[in-house]
Each structure stands twice: as C-alpha cells, then as structure tokens.
Copies of this chain bind each other. A is one copy, B any other.
Amino acid sequence: MSNPFTLLSSSSQCAARRGELRTLHGTVQTPVFMPVGTQATVKGVTPEQVRELGAEIILGNTYHLYLRPGHELIKKFGGLHRFMNWSGPILTDSGGFQIFSLQQLAKITEEGAAFKSHIDGSSLFLSPESAVAVQEDLGADIMMCLDTCIPYPADYRQAEEATELTSRWAARCRASQRVDGRLLFGIIQGGMYHDLRLRSLAALQEIGFDGYAIGGLSVGEPEELMYEICEATAAAMPAARARYLMGVGTPRNLVEAVYRGIDMFDCVMPTRNARNGMLFTSRGRLVIKNARYQDDPRPPDEECGCYTCRHYSRAYLRHLYQAREIMASVLMTIHNLSYYTGLMAAMRRAIEEDRFLEFYRDFNNATNAA
C-alpha cells in the first residue's frame, strides 16, 4: 500500500511537524483538528458552516451510528457523506472508546465486545471484523481498529492484557478490510506504562497500518503524565506516518501535543463547551452567562474573524444563552470551532516558518496572562 501521508517539514526546535494526509475525499493539512460529528451532524452547525469555519475533515462515531440510524441504512443512502451532506474527508472511530465509556455492562472477550444499547437496552456485539465492516458501510475515509480501552489507574497486568488483546484485534481488523482506498489506522494502547506503549506500537507496525493513533489518554490521568506518555510514544512512532492523538483536548493540550510531534486531533470540547456557554478565546476562556458580559459590546474574541465575532456581541450571545435560544449554541459552536481551526492553522504556519518554539511561548504567555 502507498503511504497517504507526506511529511512537508519539521521544526528544528522541537518534534512539531507539518504534513499532508491524502484521503478519498481530499487532502488534509496537518496538524489538524477534526470537529466531532457523533450522530451524523456536527452538533449545531451545517456542513457549509463547518467548511466556512475552516474544518477540512470531521469525525463520526461508529458506536452511535451503528445504534442509530444503523450502518445498513447509511450504506443504502450512499454512505455518511451523502447522508449528512458533507463532501470532505470523514474519520470514524471504531466504537471501542464509547463501549468503554458509555457501558458499565460491556463484556469484552477474545471474540469482541458485547454491550447494551444506551438507547433501548438491546444486546449488541462488535468484533474487530464487524467494526471494520460497519465503518466500510459508513463510507469512512479513515477507519480505526477496534481497541480495548484501559481505565486509569490500571495495574500492569490489566494494562498488559488489554494491550495484547488490542494488538490481536488490530491484526484481525487489518485482515478483514475489504474496500480499497480507505485508510485504516491502528490504535496504540498500553495505559500509562512506557514499555507497554512501545510493545503495542511494535505489534501494530508489524501488522502495518496507514497511520497510527495514541488511544487511552485523557482518561483521568494528570496532564503531565499524558504529555509524558504522548512524548515518549510519539518519539517512537514512524516519522513517515500520520500520528493521531485521540479525544484530546484543550487548546493547550493541542499545542503541547503538536510540540511533541502529533498530527491529528479530535475532541468534543469546542462543540460541547459552546452549548454550555463556554467560549475559547485568544485570552483564555470566557463564560458567557457571567453578569459582566451583560452589556459588553465586544465580540467573543477581538482577535477572531469568525462569523460570530464579525456580527455579534458578548451581550447578544449572553442574551441568547440566558433565553435558551438555539442560536446561542449555533453561534458559540461556530466561534469555538473557528478558534480550534484557527489555532491549528497558526501552528501550521509557525512550523512552516520554523518558529514553533516562539509560537509555543507566545501561546503560553497569552493564555497564562488571561
């Protein structure tokens, strides 16, 4: 198979890198943030708004779509792209993390994961093979292997067993792939144990994937530990392949992880926090319901040029939020996602111009000062 990732340039100051990832629905500039579209929609925004705010690729959730409306229906409608009217690349996760986080009663065996639907309680089963088949039915450009997530904390034995099962499942995922052109990424597990992370990576490289992801971070561990595992794992990952840190994170998390050589991210934080009235800005976070914004004529972020910041005041957004208007979620989602895509674009430029360390320092100064 040909390598879909091209490394365009690397920082001379740190591990940050600038690349391109080619998919069936277009090429993505990395480092990239992928807005989460769990249920075949990025909550609150149209596909045209998603594109206008600078997102090139979005993420769909296999677990949710498998439950509702079902992968057969989406396949019948020509795949997720046509079903939801998004013509750009889509990455689908495998469902492993959702089974881990939503299901108290999931039962993991060698064969796969048995779990109950959070919608109607019905019994369901995902194997490595069916997880890939579902993602192929969804029409994903980038598919993820089914993995088993490791809680934090976990003892060494527990982490080792889950990691080895993830490796065996990864081989089955790769062997079951039927459709050409779709990319399949392996997921590195290993918990907070460096040696397990490296063993996991080695096993996946042995199988060979189109890209490699770090799973099982941001599960409750201290932030410094996350950075430590991320740094050590990324340093061992093949430079020629895209590196994806799953489910992370805050703006600062993204900057720290790009610094350590990560290329791809996804997180519900910008969209979920928007719906809860929390805005990310170049001066830090802004909680819109605070009384101080009641008559504040400024846009959410004076350095932002997004649709929301061009047209609306903090006072107006606060009014919409207090009045529980849908438009509060829409406008704040547009801003938060714009902030994330803008942050990634700024990081890409800084790497291209080989001044990432300056960017990194400025970012920390600006957000610490706020």
Chain A residues near B (Cβ < 8 Å) = 39-41, 43-46, 68-69, 73, 76-77, 83-85, 294-295, 297, 311-313, 315-316, 318-320, 322-323, 325-327, 329-331
Bound CA span A312–B83, Å: 7
Determine if A39 and B319 form an interchain contact, defined as CB atoms under 8 angstroms apart.
yes
From B39, B43, B84, B313, contact of A77 by CB (8 A): B313
Contact A40/B77 with A69-B294, A312-B85, A326-B330 known, Cβ cut-off 8 Å: no
Determine if A73 and B41 form an interchain contact, defined as CB atoms under 8 angstroms apart.
no
Contact A46/B330 with A69-B319, A77-B315, A315-B73 known, Cβ cut-off 8 Å: yes
Determine if B85 and A40 form an interchain contact, defined as CB atoms under 8 angstroms apart.
no
From B73, B84, B311, contact of A85 by CB (8 A): B311
Nearest 6 CB-CB pairings of A with B: A69-B319, A41-B327, A85-B311, A44-B326, A39-B323, A41-B325
Bound CA span A69–B295, Å: 9
7 contacts across the A-B interface (CB closer than 8 A): A39-B319, A40-B319, A45-B327, A68-B323, A69-B315, A77-B297, A77-B315
Closest approach, in angstroms, between the C-beta of A321 and any C-beta of chain B? 11
Closest approach, in angstroms, between the C-beta of A119 and any C-beta of chain B? 9
In the bound complex, residues from chain B placing their C-beta under 8 Å from that of A45 are 327
